[in-house]
Structure 1
Amino acid sequence: MLPRLSAPRLIVLGFAGFILLGTILLKLPASSQGLSWLDAFFISVSAVCVTGLSPVDTAATFTPLGQAFLAGLVQVGGLGIMTATTVGAIIIGRRLGFKDLLTVRAELGSVDAPRNVLRLLVQIASITAAVELVGVVVFTIRFALEDDIGPFAALGYGTFHAITAFCNAGFTNLENGLYPYAGDWVLNLTLVYLIVAGGLGFPVLVNLYYYRRLRRLTLNSKLVLVATAILLVAGVLSFAILEWTNPQTLGGEGMNTRLAEALFQGVTPRTAGFQTLDYADMRDSTLSVQIGLMFFGTAPISTGGGIKVTTLALMFLLVLAQLRGQEEVTAFGKRIPGALIGQALALLSIVAVILPAAAVALMFFEDLAAMPALFEVVSAFGTVGLSLNVTPELGAFGKVLIALVMFLGRVGPLTLLLALRERARPRPYSYPEEDVALG
């Protein structure tokens, strides 16, 4: 039956299968200590969906083998299940069928021919290896400078953080997390480099790599780069302005640490989930802005989730066209197809119903206040991994609900729209048109 399944269903089953496998691997006695099946499932979902939310301390709970399994799940989830398995097949020399490439094309959201998709897969593997290798080298050298970290342990920490940072998953296997490195510019800038690179998306990275030869950026690349730059600047400036005088966060630090923390915490809502400050100490105004930044995730065909930045760009362009009285939505001399605008509106409408409902459910069943509940839900959907220290306190209902929201944030929007398109049947007729009042 599996070969007859549609590409969207194969993608969903692929993610679900790896989550099940991850649950078993993380629960092994050689992988963890005192981990319940529910927590193993939750962390597996969080890893495969590149989120980073966890009810337990990673360093204290998982053995080196368990941490290796966790990093592997993050790597596969960041690349995409079908993409990762297909890249693995290429590496071991297995020939790919036409249906394999069509399934990967659906996961990538690509409109290219299967031959071009195969070339993109090779480029994805090369980019991932090159970008993460830089992170591994820098992190390993930096951690090796610590008196209590040996060279092999430094390599382990470096590899783990290079993978989780590039895949925009906020897991850390350091005993005290990243808090001791709040003012460390080498570590912070390397994390920012990996987070942004993973969030830009593979087509954009390929486009930038060949830009010197082609001297041309695609419309997708232009929208992603502009939207990402605006969100990054807005994140850094808003965090610095709102938290600069807060004695529990930036206000209690020296100038060097203040600047480093403002930069890092302004970038990390881009679905990364790392933190050098306790979010529970931040002001409500800051948390409100962070929720908005978390809602809009990374670029399409990237290692992150959430509502894509191109969707945000399309909505802005739609509003701009309406204000100008234009019937067509355009950008950089190109016309945006009306079908894409419709998909973006449908996606936002679906999410606008699901996320508030999930937050209300958390408030009712887990007895949470509005801000922590909404923050947790948006963080899960955006596959960010930030929390107001709520995740460890969730009961069984809350953990299952957040796991479902993480799954939706990673695979739901794309596959749901594809599934709706598959079920659609063209009508041999059209209804008469009539206006309705808007207000």
Structure 2
Amino acid sequence: MNTKYWTLNPAQLIVSVFALCALAGTVLLKLPIATEKGVSWIDAAFISTSAITVTGLASVDPGSTFTLFGEIVLMFLMQIGGIGVMCYAVLIYVLIGKRIKFKERLLIQQALNQNSLGGVIKLARSVLIYSFVIEAAAALLLSIRLVPEYGFGQGLYYSLFHSISAFNNAGLALWSDGLMGFVGDPVMNIVITMLFIFGGLGFTVIADLIYAKRFRQLSLHSKMMITGTFVINIVAMFVIFFLEYNNEGTLAPLSLWEKAAASYFQGVSPRTAGFNTVDISAIEDPTAFFMMMLMFIGAGSTSTGGGIKLTTFLILLLAAITFIRGKKDTVIFRKRLQETTIMKALAIAVTSLIFICMAIFLLTIFEERDFLPLAFEVISAFGTVGLSMGVTPELSVIGKLIIMFIMFLGNIGPLTLAYTLAKPDQQKIRYPQEDVLTG
């Protein structure tokens, strides 16, 4: 990373690097050695973008389309996309003994979505260590279930692939029906969900949990993420259980244990991972809409998931409650939120809604499908979730390009994209204030 030749700001460079990784993945997946019977350029580009943005939407079946080489390419793309290019750059610098300068630190700060430069190198190192340790441990646990069924070599490989896919919240599976074959399997349900829940909490929260001895010693961000994740997952589990209980296409044919396991799995999956143990195309309309809300909220900052982020949603909710109650300060856990934090959360939510609405509008023009599946697909792409109601393989080229852009947007964040296009504007004039009628 020679800063002498840089002309891009950190946001622009991060976007450029991710775009180049997606392009490199497309070329590698297009190689004859990567596929069983070949794949079109648009499908290679689509699944490469899906892997690098850790989304999981697939226009072709990864397990039957790609060879071992192609699947390994997907694993590397998911790992780079989930952990972050800049974290690997830190690893390279450490290994070769080079000093990380100020501009590189700015890039790492932007990539890890940190508010200050302090501790970003330590955090980047921690991200790599935690990721590799968790993925390796989970792969061993999954091998307990998969090695007896698929043999030692293939069982270990399947365990590693799905461990990486789950922890990085990518949602790509090597089975054509996702994880529907493991709907009641305790090992697969527990290990896979724990992987993407931890991945969705964010690396700062994981580090905080390791070093803090008590809950009150955690940072405000960690407290909000842990509490919010616990509450929203419990609510989601029960909502899906009651909405889908009598649905013959999902929960109705299952035993009570399998109903509970499937409800838990699909309750925690939409905000982060995108794995499925039931047929998503068969879910009821209310369930689809509820999942869309979960996908829009997303995971945590500095996590491997997308969406507007859980803390953003909580900040907006708390700010609205504060305004309704006629109070001045937005307070949580006896801490006051800054106005700039609330404004940033509002900017993220509004910008995200604008892009989502534009994408849905365009898809309704170019795709001859019902509105709900198209809207579900767009929000799944934005949340980098990967759940689909069966729309992805049938999209036109234009439709796939739209979804690719939304996946990219959901991974880098709408504000990061805005920073790449906007020029810094130093406001030199302050205009008079006047009230506007609202509500």
Task: Tell me if both proteins adopt one fold, taking TM over 0.5 as the criterion.
Answer: yes
Pair 299,2 (structure 1): closer, same or farther in 2 beyond 3 Å: farther
For 1:317, the equivalent position in structure 2 comes to 318
For 1:403, the equivalent position in structure 2 comes to 404
For the pair 1:260 / 2:264, whether they are aligned, the reply is no
For 1:389, the equivalent position in structure 2 comes to 390
The structure 2 residue matched to 1:81, chosen from 56, 63, 85, is 85
Q: Give the distance between the partners of 1:418 and 1:365, measured in 2 at CA.
A: 29
Q: How does 1:2-401 map to 2 (within 5 A)?
A: 2-33=5-36, 34-91=38-95, 93-114=97-118, 116-146=119-149, 149-174=150-175, 176-212=177-213, 216-401=217-402
Q: Give the distance between the partners of 2:177 and 2:236, measured in 1 at CA.
A: 25
Deviations 1:277-298 (A, max 9, x none): 1111111111110110111111
Instruction: Return the offset for 1:87.
Output: 2.8
Instruction: Return the offset for 1:90.
Output: 2.8
Letter in 2 for 1:142: R
Query: Which deviates the most, 390-399 or 248-257?
Result: 248-257
SS at 2:260's partner residue? helix
Instruction: Return the offset for 1:207.
Output: 0.5
Instruction: Return the offset for 1:175.
Output: 5.3
Instruction: Return the offset for 1:422.
Output: 5.9
For 2:436, the equivalent position in structure 1 comes to 436
Q: Give the distance between the partners of 2:313 and 2:92, measured in 1 at CA.
A: 33
Query: Which deviates the most, 170-179 or 299-308?
Result: 170-179
Pair 188,425 (structure 1): closer, same or farther in 2 beyond 3 Å: same
Letter in 2 for 1:348: A
Counterpart contact for 1:360–1:373, Cα < 8 Å: no
Counterpart contact for 1:157–1:174, Cα < 8 Å: no
Letter in 2 for 1:434: E
Counterpart contact for 2:90–2:121, Cα < 8 Å: no
Counterpart contact for 2:11–2:416, Cα < 8 Å: yes
Letter in 2 for 1:29: P
Root-mean-square deviation over aligned CA pairs = 1.7
Pair 54,354 (structure 1): closer, same or farther in 2 beyond 3 Å: same
Q: Give the distance between the partners of 1:215 and 1:325, measured in 2 at CA.
A: 28
Deviations 1:303-352 (A, max 9, x none): 11111111101111101111221122222122211111111112211222
Q: How does 1:412-427 map to 2 (within 5 A)?
A: 412-416=413-417, 418-419=419-420, 423-427=424-428
Q: Give the distance between the partners of 1:256 and 1:92, measured in 2 at CA.
A: 52
Instruction: Return the offset for 1:213.
Output: 7.6
Instruction: Return the offset for 1:91.
Output: 4.1
Instruction: Return the offset for 1:420.
Output: 7.5
Counterpart contact for 1:50–1:304, Cα < 8 Å: yes
Pair 92,276 (structure 1): closer, same or farther in 2 beyond 3 Å: farther
Counterpart contact for 2:271–2:294, Cα < 8 Å: yes
Letter in 1 for 2:305: G
Counterpart contact for 2:237–2:268, Cα < 8 Å: yes
Instruction: Return the offset for 1:113.
Output: 3.1
Q: What is the aligned-residue identity percentage?
A: 39
Q: Give the distance between the partners of 1:297 and 1:198, measured in 2 at CA.
A: 12
Q: Which runs of 5+ in 1 are unaligned?
A: none
Pair 312,172 (structure 1): closer, same or farther in 2 beyond 3 Å: same
Q: Give the distance between the partners of 2:412 and 2:351, measured in 1 at CA.
A: 14
Counterpart contact for 2:322–2:328, Cα < 8 Å: yes
Q: Give the distance between the partners of 1:143 and 1:232, measured in 2 at CA.
A: 27
Counterpart contact for 2:12–2:419, Cα < 8 Å: no
Instruction: Return the offset for 1:73.
Output: 0.2
Counterpart contact for 2:15–2:417, Cα < 8 Å: no
SS at 1:423's partner residue? coil
Q: Which runs of 5+ in 2 are unaligned?
A: none
Q: Give the distance between the partners of 2:243 and 2:92, measured in 1 at CA.
A: 45
Q: Give the distance between the partners of 2:354 and 2:153, measured in 1 at CA.
A: 48
Q: Give the distance between the partners of 1:307 and 1:38, measured in 2 at CA.
A: 27
Instruction: Return the offset for 1:52.
Output: 0.4
Q: Give the distance between the partners of 1:438 and 1:202, measured in 2 at CA.
A: 40
Counterpart contact for 2:105–2:120, Cα < 8 Å: yes
Query: TM-score scaled to structure 2, two decimals?
Result: 0.95
Letter in 2 for 1:223: M
Counterpart contact for 1:19–1:48, Cα < 8 Å: yes
What is the number of equivalent residue pairs in this alignment? Answer: 435
Q: Give the distance between the partners of 2:202 and 2:96, measured in 1 at CA.
A: 25
Q: Give the distance between the partners of 1:84 and 1:275, measured in 2 at CA.
A: 30
Q: Give the distance between the partners of 1:361 and 1:422, measured in 2 at CA.
A: 28
Q: Give the distance between the partners of 2:388 and 2:16, measured in 1 at CA.
A: 28
Q: Give the distance between the partners of 1:12 and 1:189, measured in 2 at CA.
A: 34
Instruction: Return the offset for 1:426.
Output: 2.8
Instruction: Return the offset for 1:85.
Output: 3.0
SS at 2:301's partner residue? coil
Instruction: Return the offset for 1:270.
Output: 1.6
Letter in 1 for 2:432: P
Pair 13,323 (structure 1): closer, same or farther in 2 beyond 3 Å: same
Q: Give the distance between the partners of 1:179 and 1:88, measured in 2 at CA.
A: 39
Letter in 2 for 1:320: I
Q: Give the distance between the partners of 1:361 and 1:84, measured in 2 at CA.
A: 36
Pair 421,315 (structure 1): closer, same or farther in 2 beyond 3 Å: farther
Instruction: Return the offset for 1:271.
Output: 2.1
